[in-house]
Chain A
Amino acid sequence: MPGSTPFDAMTRRQFITTVGAGAVVSIMGASLARTSARDPVLRPPGAVDEEAFLSLCARCGRCIPACPNSALRLQGLDNGLQNLMTPKLVPSKGYCIMPVNGCENCIRACPTKVLQPISLEGLSSNQLSSRLKMGTASVDTRICIPYALKQPCLACKEICPVEGAITTKGGEGQGPGAAVRRPVFNNEVCVGCGACENACPTAPKAVTVSSKGAKRTEWRA
C-alpha cells in the first residue's frame, strides 16, 4: 500500500503507550541528569565549551584510537549520564603531546568538530597556554616527595614540555633537607597536558591535572 505508515496500523492503546513511554523515560532521565551533573572533566585539546560539547559530541570514540600516546579514554558512568561515552584525558595513562610536537590527531579524527583545530604557529613554549589550555596542574604537598620527604625528585619538571610552567624553589641552603629543590606550578603558563601527572612517581599522584582554568572555544562547522 503506497504511503502506509506504522501509525496507520497503530491502535489507540499502542499510540498512548509509545508516546507515554517516551515521555516517562525522558522525565526519569531528566531527573537523573540533574542529580548527576558534575564539574567538567579534563577534555582533549581544542574542546568546545562544555554545553556544546555534551550535546554535539557524537560519542563515536574516534579520538580514542587516534591518540598516539593513549591519553584518551571513553568515560563510563562515573561522571554521570551526561558524560557517558564522551572522551576524557587521563594523564595517568598518557599525556597530550600537542605542546611537544603539535600533534592534532584527535582533532582531525573528530567527525562533529567538537574538538576545534588550534593553531600553535609562532608561539614560543611559554606562550602556548594563550591558545591551548586544557586544564591546570597542581601539587599536593602532603604527598610530593621533595615537600613531604625532603628527598630530591623533579620528575614533573624534567618532562614538562612547557617552559616556565614548572619552576623550582629551594636548593640554595646547606645541610640535610635544606638542599632539596621543590616544584612550583605556574597556573597561567601551564597548558594542562598531563605530562607531569604521568611522570609523577608517587601513588596516589602528588601532581594532578584538573580542568580548572580550561579555555574552551566556540563551536564552528
Chain B
Amino acid sequence: MGDSASAGPAISRNFFSTIKFRYIRHIIQAQILILVLYAAANYSLPIRLLWYVDPLLSIPAALSGAVIAVPLLMLGAAMLAAGMAFGRAFCGWICPLGFVQDLTSFGRKKSWMPEASRYVKYAILIAGLIMPVLAGWTFLEWVTPMSVLPRALGPIWESYDSLALGVVVFLVAVFFAVVTEKRAWCRHICPLGAILSVPASKKAIGISVTEERCIRCLKCERSCTMGIIDIKGQLGLRWDSECILCLACRDACPTNAIGPVLRP
C-alpha cells in the first residue's frame, strides 16, 4: 500500500497484490479447527491458549467472586490489547466457529437481517457481565465460540443421550449463517466479538479505501464477510470496529484500492 500516492489511478500489479489472502487465512483457520477437534486426550498449552485468552471466561468468573484467575485475566487483557492493534482479527483468522460459518455460507452475497440487530450481541455481553455480579453465575460460556464446536461433536463421538442443547447451539450458529447471511453468528450474537470490538474502535491496523483508485465496482461490498463496507455512501467501512480483517475486500478489489493500512 506504500506507493498508493504515486501510483494514481493506474492499476499496479506487483507480487504482493497477486496474493489471495483467502487461502492463507483458510489454511490457518483449518489448522486451528483440526486442533480444536483433535479428539485424543492430548491438550498441550498452545491450543489451551485459545480458551485462556478468552476474556469472557475470566472476567465474569472474577466478577462473580468465585475465583480470581490471575493468569487468565492477564491473558484476557492481552487479548483486548491485541484488539487495540488488530481489532477483531481473532474472529477472522483464528476462531473455529467463524471458519465453519465461512465454509457454510460461501456463496451468500446479500444480507436481509436488520442492521440494528447487531446490537443484540452487546445486550448479551452486558447481561453476561451483570449476571455474575447479581447472581454469582456465568452463562457466556454457552456461546463461547471455541466451546460451541467440540461441545456439539462430543455426543456424536460418544453417545447420544447428552446431545441436548450443545448440538442445538451449534446448529443454530451454522443454519443462521446458511439461511441469513455470511458470519451471522459473528455479526449478531457472539459476545466475544462484542467485547473485542470495544478496543477495536481504536485499532492500529484497519481497512481503508484509496479514493482515486476506486472505480465503484462494489465487488468489495459484495465480498465483505461482515457486510460493513459502504462505498456509495462514505467510501469506507460503516461499522469499522466490526471489521474482522479477513481481507476479502482486498482480494476482490480489481484496482488495489482497498486494503489494510496502519493508522496513526
Contacts and interface: CB of A to CB of B under 8 A. Distances in A.
A1 B66 CA distance: 42
B201 interface: yes
Interface in A3-62: 3-6, 9-10, 14, 17-19, 21-23, 25-27, 29-31, 33-34, 48, 51-52, 54-62
B3 interface: no
A61 B238 contact: no
A187 interface: no
A26 B161 CA distance: 30
Given A59-B141, A59-B142, A64-B162, A4 B61 contact: no
A26 B67 contact: no
A34 B136 CA distance: 9
- Identify the interface centre among B48, B126, B236: most chain A CB within 10 Å of its CB: B126
Interface residues on B, range: 35 or more
B135 A30 contact: yes
A22 B197 CA distance: 17
Nearest to A82: B137
Given A84-B165, A111-B43, A112-B52, A3 B159 contact: no
A74 B39 contact: no
Interface in B24-71: 39, 41-43, 47-48, 50-52, 54, 57-58, 60-61, 64, 66-67, 69-71
A161 B130 CA distance: 46
B112 interface: no
- Identify the interface centre among B41, B52, B70, B131: most chain A CB within 10 Å of its CB: B41
Contacts of B162: 61, 64, 73-76
A19 B236 CA distance: 28
Contact of A2 (B60, B125, B240): B240
Nearest to A36: B137
A162 B214 CA distance: 75
B95 to A, nearest CB: 14
A98 interface: no
Contacts of B236: 1-2, 4
A26 B131 contact: yes
A221 to B, nearest CB: 4
Given A51-B67, A58-B147, A59-B144, A109 B127 contact: no
A219 interface: yes
B51 A55 contact: no
Contacts of A112: 48, 51-52, 57, 72
Contact of B126 (A23, A54, A73): A23
B159 A70 contact: yes
19 contacts: A4-B240, A6-B118, A6-B197, A22-B124, A23-B130, A25-B123, A25-B127, A31-B135, A56-B69, A56-B72, A60-B51, A61-B155, A74-B155, A76-B164, A85-B142, A111-B47, A112-B72, A221-B71, A221-B72
Given A3-B263, A29-B135, A60-B141, 6 more contacts: A19-B126, A52-B61, A55-B64, A56-B69, A81-B137, A111-B50
